[in-house]
A and B are shown apart, each in its own frame.
Chain A
Amino acid sequence: MSTCKPPEPPVPAETPTTIDVVEEAYYCVFAHHYKGVTVDAEEMLTDGFIALTQELSRSGRDLAVAVMPPLQGDRWKDWQAFEATFRTITDRLPDDVDEKLAVVTLEAMLAGLGANHTTWIHDDPPRHPDFHNGDMYSLGLLTNITSLQAGSDLGGALGPLFVTTVLGGAASKAGLRPGDVIEAVNGESPFVGGRLTSAIKQVYPRYPQTRPVRLQLLRESTGRRWSVELRPGLFQPDLALLQGVTSRLVGDVAYLKVTGFAPQVADRIFRVLSRLGSQRPLKGLVLDMRGNTGGREEEVNRLLGAFAHGKVTGHHCSPDGTCRPAKTDDSVTLLNLPLVVLTDRGCVSACEHFSSAVQALGVGKLVGTRTGGVVFGLPKPYLLGNGTVLQLPTTHHLGVNREEIDEVGVAPDVHLPLTAADVAAGRDPALGKALSLLGSPS
Chain B
Amino acid sequence: MKHSSLRAGATGPAVLAVCAVFAVSACTAPAPPRAAATPSPAPVPTGVMVLPAPTGGSAVGSTVLFLDDTSRPDPWEPQAEGRRLRVTLWYPAASADGERAPYMSAKESELLLKGGRVVTGAPYDILSKTETNAVKDAEPAGARRGLPLVVLSPGWTKPVATLTSLAEELASQGYVVAGIDHTYETYATTLADGSVAECVACDFDTDFGFQSRVVQSRASDVSFVLDQLTGSAWKGSALIDPARIAMVGQSLGGGSAVAAMVKDPRVRAGVNMDGTTYARIPKTGLPRPFMFLGNPQHVPGGRDTSWDRDWKLLTGWKRWLTFTGGEHQSFTDTVLMGGALGVKQTGTLGAERAVELTRTYVTAFLDRHLRGRPQTLLERDSPEYPEVTFNG
Name A's B-contacting residues (CB within 8 A): 7-11, 116-117, 119, 121, 124-125, 127, 129-135, 148, 237, 239, 242-245, 260-265, 267-268, 271, 275, 293-298, 300, 302, 329, 348-350, 353, 374-375, 378-381, 389, 391
Alpha-carbon gap, A124 to B301, bound state (A): 13
Alpha-carbon gap, A297 to B78, bound state (A): 29
Is residue B27 within 8 Å, beta carbon to beta carbon, of the partner chain? yes
Contact assessment for B6 and A133 in the assembled complex, using a CB-CB cutoff below 8 Å: no
Contact assessment for A132 and B213 in the assembled complex, using a CB-CB cutoff below 8 Å: no
A261-B22, A294-B22 known; A11-B203 Cβ under 8 A: no
Contact assessment for A263 and B7 in the assembled complex, using a CB-CB cutoff below 8 Å: yes
Contact assessment for B209 and A294 in the assembled complex, using a CB-CB cutoff below 8 Å: no
Given the complex, which residues of A lie within 8 Å of B19, measured CB to CB?
Answer: 119, 121, 379, 381, 389, 391
Inter-chain pairs besides A275-B78, A298-B1, 8 sampled, C-beta below 8 Å: A116-B24, A134-B208, A243-B204, A244-B206, A295-B23, A378-B22, A381-B16, A381-B19
Total number of residue pairs linking A and B with CB closer than 8 Å: 134
Contact assessment for B21 and A296 in the assembled complex, using a CB-CB cutoff below 8 Å: yes
A interface SS class: loop
A10-B346, A349-B22 known; A119-B12 Cβ under 8 A: no
Alpha-carbon gap, A297 to B22, bound state (A): 7
Given the complex, which residues of A lie within 8 Å of B7, measured CB to CB?
Answer: 263
Is residue B371 within 8 Å, beta carbon to beta carbon, of the partner chain? no
**Within B14-44, which residues are at the interface with A (CB < 8 Å)?**
15-16, 19-28, 30, 37
Given the complex, which residues of B lie within 8 Å of A302, measured CB to CB?
Answer: 3
Given the complex, which residues of B lie within 8 Å of A389, measured CB to CB?
Answer: 16, 19
Alpha-carbon gap, A131 to B304, bound state (A): 12
Nearest-neighbor residue (CB-CB) of B11 within chain A: A9
Alpha-carbon gap, A69 to B235, bound state (A): 84
Is residue B2 within 8 Å, beta carbon to beta carbon, of the partner chain? yes
Least CB distance from B221 to A in Å reads 18
Given the complex, which residues of B lie within 8 Å of A133, measured CB to CB?
Answer: 30, 209-212, 278
A11-B13, A127-B305, A293-B25 known; A298-B209 Cβ under 8 A: no
Nearest-neighbor residue (CB-CB) of B215 within chain A: A133
A-B contact list, 14 entries, CB within 8 Å: A7-B13, A9-B13, A11-B15, A11-B16, A133-B30, A133-B209, A148-B25, A244-B208, A262-B206, A264-B203, A296-B6, A296-B21, A297-B21, A379-B22
Contact assessment for A148 and B24 in the assembled complex, using a CB-CB cutoff below 8 Å: yes
Given the complex, which residues of A lie within 8 Å of B21, measured CB to CB?
Answer: 261, 294-297, 350
Contact assessment for A7 and B22 in the assembled complex, using a CB-CB cutoff below 8 Å: no
The 6 closest A-B pairs by CB, nearest first: A134-B209, A134-B212, A262-B206, A294-B23, A268-B203, A242-B208
Least CB distance from B219 to A in Å reads 14
Alpha-carbon gap, A420 to B98, bound state (A): 72
A7-B12, A239-B209, A263-B7 known; A350-B23 Cβ under 8 A: yes
Alpha-carbon gap, A300 to B22, bound state (A): 10
Alpha-carbon gap, A348 to B23, bound state (A): 8
Alpha-carbon gap, A378 to B305, bound state (A): 31
Given the complex, which residues of A lie within 8 Å of B26, measured CB to CB?
Answer: 260, 293-295
**Within B37-67, which residues are at the interface with A (CB < 8 Å)?**
37
Given the complex, which residues of A lie within 8 Å of B3, measured CB to CB?
Answer: 298, 302, 329
Given the complex, which residues of A lie within 8 Å of B202, measured CB to CB?
Answer: 264
Least CB distance from A315 to B in Å reads 14
Given the complex, which residues of A lie within 8 Å of B208, measured CB to CB?
Answer: 134, 239, 242-244
Given the complex, which residues of B lie within 8 Å of A348, measured CB to CB?
Answer: 23-24
Contact assessment for B16 and A294 in the assembled complex, using a CB-CB cutoff below 8 Å: no
Given the complex, which residues of B lie within 8 Å of A261, measured CB to CB?
Answer: 21-23
